[in-house]
Structure 1
């Protein structure tokens, strides 16, 4: 018996194309290749890592774990063993690079934590709450800065991008009653959005507004006595790694590394415009200095951007840890936290210091 049922041929447009099938299969591979490229950029020697867009790409390294985990999950579900193995390696390397954010190298003593919670600031002990903030060309809310200093019992304050107007407002709000000693850099043609300044609750000695030759905002510095331990503080702000600043960024970080041979015990606070993953920043640290964020084992403390809205509506979370407290190994800094300050595009970075 003959089957006369008509069969309508499938049109070419109704059939999935090879590309439509291939793209979901290739996407995890493409993402993995992108992850590997970004990770490879982290290993570029410091004299080359200031190239166009390289610092910006390297700043994404802490976030690479997210796509690595997503691709690993897809690879395991689809039983792509080679793809899974590659992403496991990527995750292990990322973990190795950031183990200092997960496991503390040094910890504060109970005495240090207790001392900084006292309502009465004691400038004669070896403990202090310290704070750094990029004031965004002097637009940061002066009243809020003073309030944070008061409530957090801050004894040393480092500000960057300070304007004469901001200094006047800080004085009106009473910064001098809390931190009566200050050293502020003189304005120059190389200022990066404003000058840098230091304020202290304890007397300063050997103060200077120009600690080192640097192709950026001058570094004010002063020594403060912590019960017999002299610590030299500096407020720093090298140029950002935007393409228009090509060369200025890594040269600024390189200038700070001059201090590796200095005899003082240093605590450098400020907007370094660099993350732990940048080779130029690690070169600055050398085998002497440590970054408190990478040393304290308290996870990341992203400081940039702040008070920024996508399409003027959607709040953009801070995703880069470019503000740091860098210090000698004879000093411990922990209990880090960030605080939003109105008017600034950075979050303030606070920590507890213990001189040993």
Structure 2
């Protein structure tokens, strides 16, 4: 039992290190994604050390657990909330367009979503969403529907002006549009879908696309309010993802103090282990984040309640 405890401790220490590794090595990417699970494993290691009275192991486990708590605790501490206009943002990946269009529109209605970002939007899926009534709820849209996983779109309650951004370096479409929100003014909306890590041992494209979207977001004028929704194929525990959270950008989960919010892979509770769908803000604050199952897709919808200060604030 003591040997198993030490093995779990080694895995946990490597996972801590992986959170600060800027790497395209797929096993390290996977280890960082599994960070929340290693926190649970470390508690098991502590119990094993106590059971066999290995006191050095107990002390090691306590130190590692303390490091884990220091890393994860900020995600459970909500930011102070701004006053302003509340916008509910819904982010959903449709899994090659297979997500149930009626369920998506019902979720939009139920939560009174004002902005929806959609990944893996195929032409057929777009037609089904329109037939289900999405345009009657959110009359403004900017979409590029393409086969398989490449298509991306934005639907909005507010008038949209498409903004050109060069997305030729990406595997999938990235959509940018400026929304005119009453009482708030212009808000840049961005629908992101960066590529997943490769199945082999090296994923340079994964790292490159995260870097590219980070640079593009960082290039926006500092006074521009921004809401980003998307499948980043990266968790908060990936250093490359956290590098995007500079210049005023923040993850809605962190702002709301929601903590660990897994969105993939939907199907069974024990396979929904990692949070790769995100809503990011700048010049706004998320006060609540939750998820909801959508039939037909392997992602849960991520729903963030965002407060955007008025234009006079």
Higher CA-based Rg: 1
Deviation string, structure 1 residues 330-353 (Cα, Å, up to 9, x no partner): 201121110000110100000111
**Preserved CA contact (<8 Å) 1:162 1:195:** yes
SS at match of 1:215: coil
> What is the match of residue 276 of structure 2?
322
Given the two structures, how large is their TM-score scaled by the length of structure 2?
A: 0.91
Distance 2:237 2:275 in 1: 10
- Which of 137, 140, 144 is the aligned partner of 1:185? 144
Note if 1:353 corresponds to 2:310. Answer: no
Q: 1:327-342 to 2 correspondence within 5 Å?
A: 327-328=281-282, 330-342=283-295
Distance 2:131 2:142 in 1: 18
**Preserved CA contact (<8 Å) 1:185 1:209:** no
Higher relative contact order (CA closer than 8 Å, sequence separation 6+): 2
- Which of 217, 221, 229 is the aligned partner of 2:176? 221
Unaligned runs of 5+ residues in structure 2 are: none
Distance 1:218 1:209 in 2: 12
Given the two structures, how large is their TM-score scaled by the length of structure 1?
A: 0.80
Unaligned runs of 5+ residues in structure 1 are: 1-23, 113-125, 309-314
Distance 1:135 1:221 in 2: 19
- Which of 205, 211, 234 is the aligned partner of 1:248? 205
Q: CA deviation at 1:88?
A: 1.2
**Preserved CA contact (<8 Å) 1:186 1:209:** no
- Which of 232, 252, 255 is the aligned partner of 2:188? 232
Distance 1:186 1:172 in 2: 15
Q: CA deviation at 1:284?
A: 1.6
Distance 1:25 1:246 in 2: 35
Structure 1 residue runs of 4 or more that deviate by more than 4 Å after TM superposition: none
Distance 2:280 2:297 in 1: 22
**Cα RMSD (Å) of the superposition?**
1.9
Q: CA deviation at 1:81?
A: 2.1
> What is the match of residue 257 of structure 2?
297
Distance 1:209 1:135 in 2: 24
Note if 1:261 corresponds to 2:219. Answer: yes
SS at match of 2:230: strand
Q: CA deviation at 1:209?
A: 5.9
Distance 2:40 2:15 in 1: 13
> What is the match of residue 14 of structure 1?
none
> What is the match of residue 89 of structure 1?
63
Q: CA deviation at 1:212?
A: 4.8
Note if 1:67 corresponds to 2:41. Answer: yes
